[in-house]
């Protein structure tokens, strides 16, 4: 893309604004008895859905081109108010809400909310972000009946279409989700955020998420697909943002405690405190997890603390700070070969493998409203973290551990940055338009070292290179990264039904590597006969511009046709270059990936009876990175990671959620929903310099991916049944079916899982229980190339849990 072309597109995005004249509706919502402002009141258009929410002072504002609105003002602890509004100009509507005379249970609260609308998608504009024309999905975690104590991703993400999930962690310590042919490993193909700021180890150099927030502390999870590459980064997957629970705006102090017991020695505690006093608000939780694991040698212990403090200076200005700390230690039972899995899927022949994570995140957010038309946010964020992996990991996974020195890999991650955004609604030629401009600066100073660990059994994360001087896998690297980006989008209204949103993102990336690795040769008796230390210094600098465009057509309140096309880019990570792995080697010519994604679909809700989203997508890769099985001239078979070739994935995704309660005419004492989430995907390598690859299926693409379920309840008792099915998928570009001794490549067979959950609420108490994998199917979803393997990592058999929640 030439610079003059880039300037032309920016100019077009800035001046293109044929929009309908819109009126601003605003006001203050206050307590009928005390006159104090009420926060988090939801303002709905009774026919189309959510319009706005009140802030800490009770103020709300939205824009509309309608001449008549039936407004609904909803809050959990206050009576619902409806207001018919005729609009000719900007209007101010102040509302006073009366408190409810009785205390509601959580199920009754959910029922009240259901009477209005259930929110499942992001609005076109939220604070300083634009989502018009994008495929967005919002998981309302507080309404989920998933096993939240164990972060059960199969249940939590059940209504997000097309996701492929690694299911090998029975405590939910890490999130592993992909989709559309993206490797699920540690969600590395998404830009992963918490409350809008980055939480992965290194956004570009090592975008893996070792930390996952406790689901019990999350309000909602926002998933924005490939077009999010313009506002949030370059990843092919898009964005996953964990929006944490907010402080209780109506109490100075609230305490919630949840205790869970489950199979295989599982115990978790989640305790949160929350409140608001005048201009100060806070929310904090502590989460503890401990268990033995469903396999031998799989015990774990995790501690996680989160704290949020906010100060509302006035109606227009706020400052919030967040601090997150997590530390966990997990023993890893190692991987299995195909034969080992089919003989006994839950066996383990590794008792000296350990994994430790230490994660400290911080963020400071300043938000200011310059006017009714212009919002500004500034986020300063950072990470100080480490992860240590220790163990014996031969490429022959069926070999007994020789009880010699172990392989130790230590990673230290220190990064910080800021992201600033300005969103402005402006007039041009007497028309309205919305423009977003933002910038991000990111600097990382990471370090990685690999060498000989102890020959003991415990979690000793110290190096013993002097004691085991002949150990071959020795390296040490400093890995500084620098990234600067500028991005922008502009909503252009063609008429009252059609809008177009062009956007751009400029990226400057500098990736450096400064270090060494050792090369040691031995004689037949195992004596060192040659040893050398090789320097490996790299400095990779690049800059580029990504473009995208989205569109939305809304002929009525029940239908929206949307589409988007966006370029994507993913840089090579330093684990692709500097880690010595006995199970595969790295192609020395490995380079960045690039391509684009496209979505076209229809979505909406019909009379509160059916919510739907049906679409087709395409994902196109140039230079896709993957694992390829090769034969060397010596006739030895090896696995190599590198750029396999160009690939494409395309398919149909759909979600239907039926409100059967309304369809069959049940009273509000009942809850009755049925959903079906399906994805049908085809894939192939379209070009490759490697022999026998063109025409092969792309790895991590199950052609059929279905999740379906029923939720039924009467008053305070709720039940949920969910069924999941994924067809078989490959894990390497060669489309290997079995992997022999290593277990790291080959087919992942099809599998199906049935989950059952129940909940009952009484006053301040809530009991949750359930059975995961009711049919006790033995299956696996992952073949690991390194830790926690290498080899097949089995998924959990049938397991039970029970949670008691008490709210004060």
Q: Where are the domains of the chain?
A: 23-101, 242-807
Q: What confidence score (pLDDT) does residue 521 get? A: 64
For residue 68, the model assigns a pLDDT of 83
Whether residue 41 contacts residue 27, with contact meaning beta carbons closer than 8 Å, is answered with no
Threshold 0.75, pTM exceeds: yes
* Neighbour tally for 51: CB within 10 Å: 19
Beta strands 23-31 and 95-97: pairing type?
parallel
Buried b (16+ CB within 10 A) or exposed e, 634-667: eeeeebbbbbbbbbbbbbbbbbbbbbbbbeeeee
In whole angstroms, give the CA distance from residue 627 to residue 736.
11
Alpha-carbon span 622 to 702, nearest angstrom:
21
Q: Please check whether residue 1 is in contact with residue 238, taking contact to mean a CB–CB distance below 8 angstroms.
A: no
- Both tokens assigned to 347: 């066996």
Residue 573 to residue 5: CA distance in whole angstroms? 30
- Those residues whose C-beta lies under 8 Å from the C-beta of residue 27, and which sit 6 or more positions away, are 59, 60, 92, 93, 94, 95
- Length in residues, the chain: 808
Which residues on adjacent β-strands are paired with residue 228?
Answer: none
Query: Is the preceding peptide bond at 788 cis, omega within 30 degrees of 0?
Result: yes
Backbone phi and psi for residue 660, each to the nearest 5 degrees, phi listed first:
-65, -25
Specify the residue for token string 């060498």. 451
Contact partners, residue 402, CB within 8 Å, separation at least 6: 392
Beta strands per DSSP E along 557-669: 559-570, 585-586, 593-606, 610-631, 637-659
- Alpha-carbon distances of 211 from 204, 248, 298, 413, 542, rounded to whole Å: 17, 25, 19, 13, 29
**CA–CA separation, 238 vs 227, rounded Å?**
7
Identify the architecture of domain 242-807 in CATH: Beta Barrel (2.40)
346: left (phi over 0), alpha (psi -120 to 50) or beta: alpha
Residue 232: what are its φ and ψ, rounded to 5°? -125, 0
Q: Give the residue carrying structure tokens 């604004």.
A: 17
pLDDT of residue 102: 52
Q: Quick check: 438 and 421 in contact, CB under 8 A?
A: yes
* Per-residue model confidence (pLDDT) at position 493: 86
Cis before residue 329, ω within 30 degrees of 0? no
Q: What pLDDT, on a 0 to 100 scale, did the predictor assign at position 116?
A: 34
Report d(CA 510, CA 480) in Å as an integer.
Answer: 8
- Do residues 640 and 586 make contact, with C-beta atoms less than 8 angstroms apart? yes
What is residue 517's predicted lDDT score, i.e. its pLDDT?
Answer: 78
User: What is 23-101's CATH superfamily?
Assistant: Carboxypeptidase-like, regulatory domain (2.60.40.1120)
> CA triplet 268, 274, 275: central angle to 5 degrees?
170
pLDDT recorded at residue 270: 98
Q: Is 671 helix (H, G, I), strand (E, B) or coil?
A: strand
Q: What is the pLDDT of residue 609?
A: 87
Q: Scan for tokens 């792995």, then name that residue.
A: 581
Place of tokens 């059929």: 704
The terminus-to-terminus CA distance of the chain in angstroms comes to 59
| Residue ranges of E strands in 168-265 | 177-179, 191-194, 197-198, 218-224, 239-244, 254-262
**Three-class DSSP category at 441:** strand
For residues 444 and 415, is the Cβ–Cβ distance under 8 A?
yes
Tokens 């706020």 belong to residue? 318
One-letter-per-residue 3-state SS of 676-708: EEEEEEEEEEEECCCCCCCCCCCCCCCCEEEEE
Q: Cβ atoms within 10 A of the Cβ of 691, count?
A: 7
- How far from 564 is each of 224, 496, 637, 792, CA to CA, in Å? 12, 19, 43, 37
Could you list the mean pLDDT of each consecutive 10-residue stretch along the chain, which spans 808 residues? 43 38 84 86 75 85 82 84 87 88 51 48 90 92 91 93 89 90 90 95 87 95 89 91 93 95 97 94 97 96 97 94 97 95 96 97 96 94 96 90 94 96 85 90 94 95 90 88 96 88 95 81 58 78 94 90 94 69 72 93 89 95 85 68 93 94 88 94 94 94 96 94 97 86 90 97 94 97 90 96 96
pLDDT at position 352, please? 97
Judge whether 545 and 535 are in contact, CB under 8 Å: no
What are φ and ψ of residue 643, in 5° steps? -80, 110
Residue 617 and residue 598 in contact, taking contact as beta carbons nearer than 8 Å? yes
Yes or no: say if 405 and 448 are a contact pair by the CB < 8 Å rule. no
- CA 615 – CA 599 distance, rounded (Å): 7
DSSP E strand stretches across 372-497: 374-391, 407-428, 431-452, 475-493
* Residues in contact with 645: Cβ distance below 8 Å, sequence separation at least 6, in sequence order: 623, 624, 685, 686, 687, 688, 689, 690, 693, 694, 733
Whole-number Å distance between alpha carbons of 568 and 547: 9
Give dist(CA 57, CA 711) in Å, integer: 37
């Amino acid at each position: 893309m030439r610079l003059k072309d880039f300037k032309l597109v920016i100019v077009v995005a800035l001046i293109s604004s044929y929009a309908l004249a819109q009126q601003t509706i605003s006001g203050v919502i206050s307590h009928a008895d005390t006159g104090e402002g009420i926060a988090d009141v939801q303002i709905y258009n009774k026919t189309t859905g959510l319009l706005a929410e009140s802030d800490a002072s009770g103020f709300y504002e939205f824009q509309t081109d309608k001449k008549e609105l039936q407004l609904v003002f909803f809050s959990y602890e206050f009576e619902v108010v409806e207001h018919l509004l005729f609009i000719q100009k900007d209007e101010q509507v102040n509302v006073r809400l009366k408190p409810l005379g009785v205390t509601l249970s959580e199920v009754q609260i959910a029922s009240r909310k259901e009477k209005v609308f259930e929110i499942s998608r992001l609005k076109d504009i939220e604070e300083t972000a634009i989502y018009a024309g994008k495929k967005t999905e919002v998981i309302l975690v507080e309404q989920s009946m998933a096993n939240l104590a164990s972060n059960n991703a199969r249940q939590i993400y059940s209504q997000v279409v097309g996701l492929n999930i690694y299911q090998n962690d029975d405590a939910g310590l890490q999130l592993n989700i992909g989709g559309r042919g993206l490797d699920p490993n540690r969600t590395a193909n998404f830009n992963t955020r918490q409350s809008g700021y980055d939480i992965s180890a290194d956004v570009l150099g090592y975008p893996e998420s070792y930390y996952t927030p406790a689901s019990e502390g999350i309000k909602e999870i926002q998933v924005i697909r490939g077009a999010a590459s313009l506002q949030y980064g370059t990843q092919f997957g898009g964005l996953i943002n964990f929006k944490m629970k907010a402080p209780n705006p109506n109490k100075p102090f609230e305490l919630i405690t949840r205790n869970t017991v489950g199979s295989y020695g599982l115990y978790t505690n989640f305790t949160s405190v929350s409140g608001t006093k005048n201009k100060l608000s806070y929310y904090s939780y502590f989460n503890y997890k401990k268990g033995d694991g469903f396999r031998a040698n799989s015990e774990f212990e995790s501690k996680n603390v989160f704290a949020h403090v906010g100060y509302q200076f006035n109606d227009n200005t706020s400052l919030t700070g967040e601090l997150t700390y997590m530390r966990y230690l997990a023993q890893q039972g190692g991987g299995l070969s195909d034969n080992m899995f089919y003989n006994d899927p839950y066996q383990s022949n590794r008792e000296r493998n350990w994994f430790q994570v230490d994660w400290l995140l911080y963020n400071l957010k300043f938000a200011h409203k310059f006017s009714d038309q212009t919002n500004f946010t500034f986020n300063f964020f950072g990470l100080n973290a480490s992860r240590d992996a220790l163990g014996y990991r031969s490429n022959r996974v069926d070999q007994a551990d020789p009880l010699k020195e172990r392989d130790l890999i230590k990673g230290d991650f220190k990064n910080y940055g800021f992201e600033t955004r300005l969103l402005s609604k402006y007039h041009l030629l007497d028309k309205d338009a919305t423009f977003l401009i933002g910038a991000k600066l990111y600097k990382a100073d990471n370090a990685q070292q690999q060498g000989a660990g102890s020959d003991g059994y415990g979690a000793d994360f110290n190096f013993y290179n002097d004691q085991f001087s002949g150990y071959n896998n020795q390296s040490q690297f400093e890995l500084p990264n620098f990234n600067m980006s500028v991005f922008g989008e502009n909503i252009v209204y063609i008429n009252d039904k059609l809008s177009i949103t062009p956007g751009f993102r400029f990226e400057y990336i500098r990736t450096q590597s400064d270090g060494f690795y050792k090369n040691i040769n031995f004689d037949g008796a195992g004596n060192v006969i040659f040893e050398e230390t090789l320097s490996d210094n790299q400095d990779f600098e690049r800059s580029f511009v990504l473009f995208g465009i989205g569109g939305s057509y809304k002929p009525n309140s029940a239908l929206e046709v949307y589409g988007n096309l966006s370029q994507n880019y993913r840089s090579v990570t330093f684990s692709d270059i500097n880690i010595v792995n006995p199970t595969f080697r790295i192609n020395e010519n490995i380079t960045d990936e690039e391509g684009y994604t496209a979505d076209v679909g229809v979505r909406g809700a019909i009379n509160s009876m059916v919510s739907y989203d049906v679409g087709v997508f395409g994902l196109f890769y140039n230079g896709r990175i993957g694992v390829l099985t090769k034969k060397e001239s010596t006739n030895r078979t090896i696995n190599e990671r590198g750029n396999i070739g160009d690939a494409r994935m395309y398919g149909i995704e759909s979600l239907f959620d039926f409100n059967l309660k309304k369809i069959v005419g049940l009273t509000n004492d009942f809850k009755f929903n049925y959903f079906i989430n399906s994805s049908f995907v085809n894939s192939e390598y379209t070009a490759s310099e490697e022999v026998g690859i063109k025409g092969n299926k792309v790895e991590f693409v199950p052609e059929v991916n279905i999740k379906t379920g029923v939720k039924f309840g009467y008053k305070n008792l709720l039940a949920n049944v969910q069924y999941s099915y994924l067809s078989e998928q490959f894990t390497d570009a060669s489309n290997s079916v079995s992997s022999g001794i290593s277990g790291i490549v080959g087919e992942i067979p099809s599998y199906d899982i049935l989950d059952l959950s129940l909940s009952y609420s009484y006053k301040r108490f809530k009991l949750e229980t359930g059975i995961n994998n009711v049919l006790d199917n033995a299956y696996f979803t992952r073949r690991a190339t390194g830790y926690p393997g290498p080899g097949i990592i089995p998924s959990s058999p049938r397991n039970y849990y029970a949670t008691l929640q008490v709210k004060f």
